[in-house]
Amino acid sequence: MKRLLFTTCLIAVAVTAGPADNTTWTKSQIPQAAIAAVIDGSISANEWQDAAICTGFIQFVGSKLVDNQPIAYLKWTPQALQIAVETPLEPGKLAIAKATDFDGAVWEDDSVEIHLDPTHSHEKNYQFVVNALGVRFDSIQGDKSFDGIWTAAAKNTPGRWYAEVEIPWTTLSLEKAPTDVFGINIAVNSKYLGGILTWSTMRGRRLHRAEDFAHAILANQPVPSLSTFTLQSIIEDGFQFHYQTQNPQPYTLEATLHVENQQNPGTFTQRKAIKQAIGTKAIPVFDSEVPPTPGTYSLEIMLKNQRNAPVFTRTVEFTIPKPLAIKAATLIGKQVIKLTAKPAFDAATVTYEITGDGNRKITREATPGANKDYLVEFQAAELPKGNLTIKGIAQGETQRATDELNLENPLNPEWLGTKEGLSDKVPAPWVPVKLQEDKANQRTVIAGQNEIQFVESPFPTQVKNGNIELLAQPIQLKGLHDGKPINWKFDNIKTTEIKETHATFQINATSTTGMTLKGTISVEFDAMVRCDLQLDPRGTLENITLEIPFKGTIAKYLYHYPGRWGSISNSAALPENGWIHPFKPYVWMGNEERGFSWFCESQENWFPYENKSALTITPPQNGKPVTLICTIIDGKFTSQKPLDYTFGFQPTPVKVPEKDAWDYRIVHSGNYGLPERLSDIRRAEPKTWPLKNLVNPSQGTIECWYRPAYPQRERGIPRNERKIGTNHSIVTMRWHEENSSAMTSTNAGFYWNELVQGPVVWSRKSGTVLFAPGKQIDWEPGQWFHLAMTWKDKVRLYVNGELAFETENKGMIPDDPATGTLLVGDNTPEGSIDELRILDVERPPVAPFGPYAKDAHTTLLEHFDTPETLTGLSPRGYQYPTTTTGKFGNCISWGAVDRMPYLKWIRHLGARTICFHEHWSPYQSYPYVTEENRPKLTKLVNACKENDLELLLYMSREFSDNSPVWDLLGDEVLTVPRSGGYTRKPDQKAYYTCWNSVWKDFVLHHLGKMMDEFPIQGWYLDGSEVPGPCKNPNHGCGFVGYDGKTYPKYAIFQTRDFMKRLYNLTRSRRKDGQLNIHNSTVMVTPTLSFGTSTWNGEQLDTHKVGAKTLEVLPMDSFRTELMGYQWGIPSEFLVYEGMPYFARDMISYTILHGVPIRPAVLDITYIMSKLWKLHDEFPFSHAKMLPYWNNQENFQTSAANTYVTAFQDNNKGLLVIISNLDDNNAETTLKINLKNLGFPMNQHAIEWMNQEEIQFINGNCKFNLKPWEFKAIWIKKS
């Protein structure tokens, strides 16, 4: 999915994102406007001639220059920043824009985005978006509740559209135009131009990264621009640019060309002095000819002023193509090879010479054709056998070029028809199928805990799961044939095959009207039923329906596929009035424990295709059951030929899992550098106190003695050249969960910083730094300093009694002390602290500075004389403090933080599985490792094993356009229409394949070989289970309807075959192998059945901070899709921080359902570590669950929006989870009928997360819960 974006434009804007000393980072200057532009959508030359011109947009992700360039113009006034962008369109076409509401999905249209980091803090991003209709969107850090004052207008014309934007400085929380560097990025969203274009090079995949923005500086005079930064200006015009300026001052143009991927790589540098009056001038960058040979180039352009300071810098990549490039594409299913050619000149012909085994050669000549692709096709019978050498020869009037391909047996590759994953054995945890032939026309198939009965019907007449009946009545095919009701007489049901993996039987039936029905029914070990039927009406069918009546106790929730990104509305409680919907390939109804599904791959032989009520669910009325009605033919439909249908059914849960997500404990941090990586943890265990009653928000003092243990490593080096920026925590006040993002956190205090080389005082509220002054001081390790911070009207810091600095008090205490925490130590303290004192008044320090005695204004006095008792590493992997000799008596001390190896640290926290995402291969989801990465992967796997960690590698159904077999297999294996388009580094786009193609064989063959070579534990599957819509006739997908249109097929059974075989090949090599499936929105059980666990929830990341959690994710939707129990596949929840919620809050929600969150940031990692360790002692996921939706007999809370779920184990006792799912504090009394649960009513317990002892009196206990806080209360068996 596409997220809200940030980008930049190529302007004369001092644009540099990243370190200020990075001379190659995009930078430019923005001139002050001579005339302020009128924001009306019309970009006139007179109005914008004083602006900096910005071209040179690149692909996101990457730095490759795009062919067709937008142009942006930037200037400023004392009141505002003004930006205009003109974007090319397909000739004669208008821009596409659908969003009409302010703060709607404007970025999905043809649109322009402006992203600004006004203070260059890299912590806050202002986003302004306008589409081609002039509709606006704005946000801060993605929070669209921000409604800034700004103006935008657009003009949409054939072939080009225009946008103008004006953003007042005050909207950016600035009192006036900035005088220092600020961050800027401009993005253009355009499908015609290839998706997302950016100006600044974004190093990550997130366009919101302010640290990647270009650096802009406002200039008071006109500045120069390079206005034709295009592929044409580089390649066709011989590295020629148009230099444009309203400033006659001389500048120096410096260009550096790095040549890569060539026989003679090198670097070429050119410097040119530019002296020019006002106007535009064409400037060839390189006087001497640079290599014109094919390859990849990186070009750095820099303009320097008379002081040799860069005022404009830009770096882009581009490729010079070969004089001739030939491509081969196979259609293995049709045994065809297609050859195409792309000459770099006008060629009259391209001749193809193909040589195979025995030097047999064939030749064919091609002309340009309508697409100028010089296409020829060869049938397999025409081609030489074996490996092929294909030579292309392009001939023009004066030019000739050749190219050559070598293909290994392209129409019969070694992987075709692989047997990988094919097995007659039932894999664990399933058991062999049993078949009972009760009567001549009655069969009962037993598949594990499921019983499926067929009584004179090709459809299940009853289904039991765990001995619970799911159907109220038999499934039936109903309707009229030639005007009469259909009644079937079954000739026989014949068992044709019974194996431990499946049972198969055939049916034949005739209706009383003469219509015949025959088919094959197969039931597999996971209770998946497939019915292949042929209906031969030879007449008129009318209102044909397949009706599935559910037991009312079962049909509580409804799920249907496909869902919609940004929503979970396809998973919810069954609507009271039923449900009506056009065709969908998968529908499930069930409750919290079990359910039943129907599925069908396509609407082939349905009528009509556009039927908006093809699927309906009738509510329970007048004693009638809840019935799913599939209207196959609505109205009358006459056919004189047989009609084929395939339906599937499956009860859930599909299995009894061997393990669950609490056992697998997966983290997403794999990479090739992991064996050498040290943990990012530089923290030590701090000393903490509740901040309540310790500080006075209006005035106060905090003072202590501090002794750094580290040297002043960069003494004498100018600040802008220093590299060490470590923060050494001294005193911190915190109002957020530990390790929350700086973009959202609230904290304050003072620390020692090695970049400043001395103490810094700071205050941050909700991510915004209110102030952070510092003082440079020379020091030696072991030297004591007295530090005193005071606040009232000013915030002041004193060092050894002398005032070091002062600043206006904009909020030294940024939040309510009652909800804060005081910490001493914490992040890399590496020193000693003595004589900590807090006063409720402002009191400048007076010698002697201790030892202190408590007075009337002292709220805290800590001498640190009591020896510390804990040593070594804490459960979080943090260093405990020690007691040493202090300034006065003893003090508390931390040595240099010894950073654990990452793998050891994450295992110490309790993780058991590492996922290595896509970058294990340079080609997205390519199923084998490159030679370069082979030793790296071996080293990583071994390092994981040494630390008792399992490794999963990423796979999906994607296929990238940079992979070695893209040209060869793409036409045959990709979905039609092409979908996906995921981008990553190295530059590539990856599109979805279909498992109904030979791609299935290709992937299975190579994954089997990988597991033979590397002891990985399995696969992290990113959507591999998705049976996406496909109409590619090259592999048999799609169908042509009676109306002549092509309709899609959802290849459920072929996707199932891939997943089953992948499970088999994995489990045949690893007894406990994993298939962890990232399945957001997809609960299609025939394919999902083979997952050992799922990771779900990403579909909701389009919502932004401020959205109400229970509106984005209602509780009935969570119970329907995200619990895993009724599906038989353990579930884990996914959170992207701030999109819209935070994991530290959401764990209170998910744990009520017994579902963990996969940790991604430190705060949830530590929360999950505590829960993992709780699970080690009380394996609650395997205990009896007493859920909040069905436990009111034994559990009650007095406050609204507080919920209780409990887990009961006969040996371990009772684990009670109480959560506050509200944005306000909750004071609540938890009432438990302990007697009914086998405990005394007066009972001692432990709150696990904080290790606090609590007491239930007569079954009651009071709790004060913060917003989205939970408690885990363990009542042990006495």
> What are the residue boundaries of the structural domains of the chain, listed by start?
27-244, 324-407, 434-652, 687-894, 1179-1276
Measured CA to CA, the distance from residue 807 to residue 792 in angstroms comes to 11
Q: If you average pLDDT over residues 1097-1101, what whole number do you get?
A: 94
The 10s digit of each residue's pLDDT in 938-979 is 999 999 999 999 999 999 999 999 999 999 999 999 999 999
Partner residues linked to 463 by β-bridges: 452
pLDDT at residue 17 in the model: 34
Measured CA to CA, the distance from residue 524 to residue 432 in angstroms comes to 9
pLDDT at residue 280 in the model: 64
- Say which amino acid occupies 830: E
Q: If you average pLDDT over residues 838-857, what whole number do you get?
A: 92
- Say which amino acid occupies 921: S
Left, alpha or beta for 939 (phi > 0: left; psi -120 to 50: alpha)? Answer: alpha
CB 892 within 8 A of CB 832: yes
pLDDT at residue 20 in the model: 39
Q: If you average pLDDT over residues 245-269, what whole number do you get?
A: 67
Length of the chain: 1278
Q: If you average pLDDT over residues 140-160, what whole number do you get?
A: 90
Q: If you average pLDDT over residues 434-448, what whole number do you get?
A: 90
Quickly tell me which residue has 């602290």 as its tokens: 833
Q: In the CATH hierarchy, which fold is given to the domain comprising 1179-1276?
A: Immunoglobulin-like (2.60.40)
Q: If you average pLDDT over residues 275-288, what whole number do you get?
A: 63
The 10s digit of each residue's pLDDT in 1193-1216 is 999 999 999 999 999 999 999 999
Measured CA to CA, the distance from residue 242 to residue 233 in angstroms comes to 9
Q: In the CATH hierarchy, which fold is given to the domain comprising 324-407?
A: Immunoglobulin-like (2.60.40)
pLDDT at residue 226 in the model: 67
Q: In the CATH hierarchy, which fold is given to the domain comprising 687-894?
A: Jelly Rolls (2.60.120)
Quickly tell me which residue has 């408590």 as its tokens: 854
Specify the higher pLDDT residue, 1278 or 700. Answer: 700
Q: Does pLDDT of 184 surpass 60?
A: yes
DSSP assigned state of 1118: I
3-state secondary structure of 1111: helix
Average per-residue pLDDT for the chain = 90
Left, alpha or beta for 659 (phi > 0: left; psi -120 to 50: alpha)? Answer: beta
pLDDT at residue 909 in the model: 92
CATH C-level class of 27-244:
mainly beta
Helix axes 902-909, 1162-1177, angle to 10 degrees: 50
CB 749 within 8 A of CB 767: no
From residue 177, give the alpha-carbon distance in Å to each of 149, 218, 504, 714, 944: 16, 8, 77, 34, 53
Q: How many CB atoms lie within 10 A of CB 985?
A: 13
Domains 27-244 and 434-652 share a fold: no
Specify the higher pLDDT residue, 238 or 531. Answer: 531
pLDDT at residue 10 in the model: 26
pLDDT at residue 318 in the model: 78
C-alpha closest to that of 244 among 72, 37, 50: 50
CB 1170 within 8 A of CB 1274: no
CATH C-level class of 434-652:
mainly beta
C-alpha closest to that of 984 among 148, 20, 205, 243: 205
Q: If you average pLDDT over residues 1059-1081, what whole number do you get?
A: 97
DSSP assigned state of 643: E
Quickly tell me which residue has 């390189």 as its tokens: 286
∠ CA 260-264-267 to the nearest 5 degrees? 60
Q: If you average pLDDT over residues 688-701, what whole number do you get?
A: 96
State the burial class of residue 462 (Cβ atoms within 10 Å of its Cβ: 0-12, 13-18, 19+): middle
Q: Which residues contact 307 (CB under 8 A, 6 or more apart)?
A: none
DSSP assigned state of 816: -
The 10s digit of each residue's pLDDT in 1000-1046 is 999 999 999 999 999 999 999 999 999 999 999 999 999 999 999 99
C-alpha closest to that of 1117 among 691, 511, 556, 697: 556
C-alpha closest to that of 950 among 1071, 1062, 1073, 1059: 1073
The confidence band for 751, taking pLDDT boundaries of 50, 70 and 90, is very high
pLDDT at residue 986 in the model: 85
The confidence band for 987, taking pLDDT boundaries of 50, 70 and 90, is confident
Whole-number percent of the chain with pLDDT over 70: 92
